[in-house]
Chains A and B, each alone.
Chain A
Amino acid sequence: MNSKQIISLEVNGDKRDVTVLGTETLLTVLRDQLGLTGTKRGCNQGVCGACTIMVDGFAVRSCLSIAGFFDGANLITVEGLAKNRVLSPVQQAFAEKGAVQCGFCTSGMMLAANALLEKKSNPTIEEIKEGISGNLCRCSGYKKIIDAVQEAARLIEARAGVS
């Protein structure tokens, strides 16, 4: 498990080659090697969801993802959501709807919401609850997060209509 390996990742559109140890996770690659600290470590056990990122279109817990298995993968982290300094619909909605308190769960929560909205463009409250059920928030009552995901769905639709 101590063998080193060089892997290629596409992270937020940039190609990054990193050297990883056998046990190293995507979370430590992102935070400690690439300086992308927006992805958070809450439990390191796959329960809290603060470390959620998108890998090839799916929401994945980076703390449980052994980096060596992800050679060639396409990763999106919170730092990759905004484009040209414009907030993504999910970011915009989280900010507007008061879904952010301490913010420590926010990155993971937004990535989980993003993955949900890619599968379901207009989710119901129950579907949103299920979609974010792997992400813990200790500050809010989830209500404003749910409102934000619904708002994000509306924003995505509105932006698609404009373009």
Chain B
Amino acid sequence: MNKMTPEIVGGVGDSPRKVETTEKVLGRAKYIDDLYRPNMLHGAILPSPHAHAKIISYSVEAARALPGVKCVITGDDFGDDFMGPFIKDEGAIAKGKVRYIGEPVCAVAATTKKIAKTALGLIEVEYEVLAPVLSMVEAIAGDAPIIHEGLESYTKIFEAVSYDNVMSETTLSEGDVDNAWSDCDLIVENVYETQAQNHMPIETCGALAEEDGNGRIELWSANQSVFRVQANVCETLGLPMSKLRCLTPTIGGGFGNKMEAHVQPIVVKLAMETGLPVKIVLSREEDFEMIRARHPFRIWIKTGVKSDGSFVARDVNILMDGGAFSDDSPGVLGFAVLCSRGPYRIPNMRSFGRVVYTNHLRFAAFRGFGNPQVNFASEAQIDEIANKLGMDPIEIRQKNAIEAGDTWFGGQIIESSGLKECLEKAKLASNWDAKRNNIKSDRNYKRRGLGIAVCGHISGLLGTGAIIRLLEDGTVALNTGATDIGQGSDTVLSQMAAEALKVPLENISLAQPDTDGSPFNWGTTASRVTYTTGRAVVGAAKEVEDQVKKAASQMLECSEDDLELVPGGKVGLKGVPGHEVSFFDISKFTHWGVGGPIVGSHTLVYENPSIDPKRAVASGTPFSNIGAYAFNATVVEVEVDERTGSCEVLEVWSATDVGRAINPALVEGQLEGGFVQGLGYALFEEMIWDNGRLANPNLMDYKVPGSMDVPYDIHSIIVEHPEPDGPFGAKGVGEVCIVAVPGSIANAILHAADVKMRKLPMSSERVFDALRDKEENNAT
């Protein structure tokens, strides 16, 4: 947590304010809804009123005739071009049939928002209503209506196991589960259920597109990757990527919902049809109904242990609601399967999962990517096991925790693990031993408990790049294509460049993502930007270092091997202070004299395989190389009200192994924010459907945590076990901080009130019911 090079202001280990913060506090940062173009039209989207129906015909003449309306488009205006990161099953707009209430059916562009909305009311669509599939259990029933008749013929980018309403099926096993149960002294088997959670960044989804006279399109949108936006729009509209330039304004939060397409393909189509700029920004209600959410899971889990607490075998069966389109679902399932062992050694392991189509909106990536669901099941069950064995929850976790050199489920070698240190530090900081054994509320009808849960989570995945240029005056331009969604990656990547080149942070400029000029970046997702893009930045900086040394060797007439970077943007002779040339002089020399302008670049794809075929048997796995693992131990103190069942989190200790904290204050921001988003997920957030229609698509009825719902005392404990190939040892922190939250709260409730919560959210109603059931059972 110390600064790496004390002389470098804003280098690694320092906590400078984020590079864009001043713009934000001045209210000058421009988000998608703040962008306007001359002669800009406003778009609006007609949502499907049916969960499952055939589209028979459209009647759009009245809408087209409304003064001010410039364009009305329907499914008839689109070809059969599909997008999808894993299974290409989704068009830009419904065509032939609708699959969820809220799915875009038609779109309008008009001179004002009001006219566009009025025009929607004049469109008539004739439907033939089909029987809907309204739950994941219904989806796999023998007589279930089929949601995607063309599933077999869809393009799939991995060896997907898909049939009927089953979008994807994944299996993974190690050891010999069936024969291991006889070695176990205790076997516990439970079912856990989790709910749909809405991402709910305060900024809703939106886009603004404009076609120029040459047929080239510029697209600004709220996104987590301009490159995924480009791919999705081009795939669904049949455009070559060279025709579409995607850019990013400031992003008002994104927790997975802005990674894949939202309204961008529709907005581009409207701009192409009208030849004018078109903007659509969704209302909160539209965003709730139309976009995406966290997958509901049903998890059967059976774990066998020895009486000394060592884990022997586990069998897991996962059923996931994927919603109407595949989106990231096969990836989320694959990762959930991979995480179903948790960060433990369990020699005999089998995990089977299915994600199914239903007539709900798309479920997709959401901070944690399938891990929070399986972690809740695993961590809650481990406390039940510990209780039965009479073991302390931290002791049983320490006994089975994986360490560096162990393998993750599937066979990937763990290069660094601070899990045991996280457990130890969370235990000490929370005063666990004393509190756990003697905890009492000082308030009537309240019971207090202390709970813990732990996790491992990746940082990594897929391709990324960085370009660093030395400007004429020796200051530095960095370009990565990574979208900062508020977490601070622009700052962290700039700090890394500053540290690697030994220049002050203020000498680094950072380009905003632009598909015309930025190197490819898969996206701000999978906790990957610090780790993966950071590696690209360090690689590009190394190239720049080599080039400035080469130029300096000519200027100083010495060997490159005798040169080193000197803090402050200089190259000097090793061991001879003062004998140096500045980046300013070097850049003048290379621009106008010898060698040419200095440009360093580096690209990579995360390389370590997640499955070792010698250890594990796998099928239907969507990722071959997944990422480095970060670790977390979360301890919470919770108070349960016996009269109402409501639970209040009083204090939190979140110990996280981030490899190396590039910016400790921003790490804290993630740990605190991730915890609170997890608290909402654990205790009250839930999207509820009434016969296929979302019953709570607004903030009055869908509650997210406010300041009164969360504790002030969230203690961030930063643990640093450097990842060997991480940039300065860093790993990602964006998701590892949310994963263990539901399990930690469930375990604290178990400790406080002796009730086993196996369904999220653990609302006051559910906890109250559990308390009452316990009382009734005790009475009989």
| Partner-B contacts on A (CB < 8 A) | 31, 36-45, 47-48, 50, 77-79, 81-82, 87, 91-92, 94-96, 98, 100-107, 110, 125, 128-130, 132-146
Interface string of B469-498 (1 = CB under 8 A from A): 000000000000000011110000000000
Residue of B nearest to A137 (CB): B202
Q: How far is the CA of A145 from the CA of B20 in the complex (A)?
A: 17
Q: Which of chain A's residues have a CB closer than 8 A to the CB of B24?
A: 100, 103, 106
Q: Find B485's partner among A102, A125, A135 (CB 8 Å cutoff).
A: A102
Contacts A44-B284, A48-B202, A136-B699 given; does A142 touch B25 at CB 8 Å: no
CB pair A104 B714 closer than 8 Å: no
Which of B201, B251, B486, B672 has a CB less than 8 Å from the CB of A143?
B672
Task: Identify A87's interface contact among B22, B200, B253, B673, CB under 8 A.
Answer: B22
In the complex, the chain B residue whose C-beta lies closest to that of A101 is B486
C-alpha spacing A38/B28, complex, angstroms: 6
Instruction: Answer whether residue B704 sits at the interface, using C-beta atoms and an 8 A cutoff.
Output: yes
Tell me, rounded to whole Å, the shortest Cβ–Cβ distance linking A75 to chain B: 13
Residues from chain A with a CB closer than 8 A to the CB of B376 are none
Q: Pick the residue among B250, B485, B669 that contacts A144 (CB under 8 A).
A: B669
Tell me the complex Cα distance, A146–B35, Å: 31
User: Using Cβ atoms and an 8 Å threshold, which residues of chain A touch B704?
Assistant: 136, 138
**Pairwise interchain contact B27-A39, C-beta atoms closer than 8 A:** yes
Q: In the bound complex, do residue B284 and residue A98 qualify as a contact, i.e. CB atoms below 8 Å apart?
A: no
Whether A37 contacts B251 by the Cβ 8 Å rule is no
In the complex, what's the smallest C-beta–C-beta distance from B91 to chain A, in angstroms? 29
A interface, over-half SS: loop
- Write out the residue numbers on chain A whose beta carbons fall within 8 Å of the beta carbon of B200: 138
Q: Is B434 engaged at the interface, CB distance under 8 Å to the other chain?
A: no
Contact indicator A43/B698 (Cβ below 8 Å) = yes
State which of B30, B33, B666, B710 has its C-beta within 8 Å of the C-beta of A142.
B710
* Min distance, Cβ A150 to any Cβ of chain B, angstroms: 11
B58 interface contact, C-beta 8 A:
no
User: Is there contact, CB below 8 Å, between A103 and B486?
Assistant: yes
Residues of B within 8 A of A48 (CB): 202, 284, 699
CB contact under 8 A between A77 and B27, given known A98-B668, A104-B202, A140-B669 = yes
Chain A proximity of B189: nearest CB distance (Å): 35
| List of A residues within 8 angstroms of B673 by Cβ | 101, 138-141
The 19 sampled A-B contact pairs (Cβ below 8 Å) are A40-B203, A42-B202, A42-B699, A45-B284, A45-B698, A45-B699, A47-B698, A48-B699, A77-B27, A87-B22, A92-B25, A94-B21, A103-B252, A125-B712, A133-B706, A138-B201, A139-B201, A139-B487, A140-B676
Instruction: Count residues of chain B with CB under 8 A from any CB of chain A.
Output: 53
Distance, CA A77 to CA B673, complexed state (A): 26
Interface centre among A37, A48, A98, A139 (most CB of B within 10 A): A139
Asked if B17 is at the interface of the complex by the 8 Å CB criterion, the answer is: yes
Chain A residues near B707 (CB, 8 Å)?
128-130, 132-133, 135, 142, 145-146
A38 to B29: give the CA distance in the assembly, Å: 8
Q: Is B675 an interface residue (CB 8 A)?
A: yes
Bound state CA distance, A84 and B712, in angstroms? 34
CB contacts (< 8 Å) of A44 on chain B: these are: 283-284
Chain A hits for B669, CB < 8 A? 98, 101, 139-140, 144
Chain B, residue nearest A106 (CB): B24
Cβ of B621 to closest chain A Cβ, rounded Å: 32
**Contacting pair B26 A82 (CB below 8 A):** yes
Assembled-state Cα–Cα distance A81/B26 (Å) = 8
Whether B203 lies near A79 (C-beta < 8 A) is no
For A40, the chain B residues whose CB sits under 8 A away are: 31, 33, 202-203, 252
- Please pick, from A31, A36, A77, A136, the residue contacting B202 in the complex, using a CB distance under 8 A: A136
* A94 proximity list for chain B (CB < 8 A): 21, 25
- Contact, CB under 8 Å: A129 / B17: no
CA distance A138 to B708 in the complex (A): 14
Q: Are B201 and A130 in contact (CB under 8 A)?
A: no
Task: Say yes or no: is B618 at the interface (Cβ < 8 Å to chain A).
Answer: no
Cβ contacts B224-264/A at 8 Å (1 or 0 each): 00000000000000000000000000111111000000000
Q: What residues of chain A lie closer than 8 Å to B708, measured between beta carbons?
A: 129-130, 133
Is B710 in contact with A95, judged by CB distance below 8 angstroms? no
Contact, CB under 8 Å: A91 / B31: no
Interface centre among B26, B30, B672, B698 (most CB of A within 10 A): B26
Q: Which residue of A lies closest to B201 (CB)?
A: A138
In the complex, whether B779 has a CB less than 8 A from a CB of chain A is no
Contact B699 A43 (CB under 8 A): yes
Residues in chain B near residue A42, CB distance under 8 A: 202-204, 284, 699
* Complexed CA–CA distance, A128 and B31 (Å): 28
B700 in the interface (beta carbon within 8 A): yes
Q: What is the bound-complex CA distance between A147 and B17, given in angstroms?
A: 15
Which chain B residues (1-37) contact chain A, with CB distance < 8 Å?
15, 17-18, 20-22, 24-31, 33-34
* Assembled-state Cα–Cα distance A28/B126 (Å): 35
Q: Which residues of B contact A136 (CB under 8 A)?
A: 202, 699, 704, 706
Chain B residues within an 8 Å CB radius of A47: 698-700
Enumerate chain A residues within 8 angstroms of B15, measured Cβ to Cβ.
Answer: 98
Per the bound structure, the CA–CA distance linking A110 and B31 in Å amounts to: 18
Complex Cα distance, B673 from A13, in Å, reads 36
When A40-B252, A137-B202 are in contact, do A95 and B25 touch as well, CB less than 8 Å? yes
Q: Which residue of A lies closest to B28 (CB)?
A: A38
Tell me whether A78 and B250 are in contact in the complex, defined as CB-CB below 8 angstroms, given that A40-B31, A138-B200, A139-B486 are known contacts: no
B677 is an interface residue with CB less than 8 A from chain A: yes
B672 lies within 8 A of A140 (CB): yes
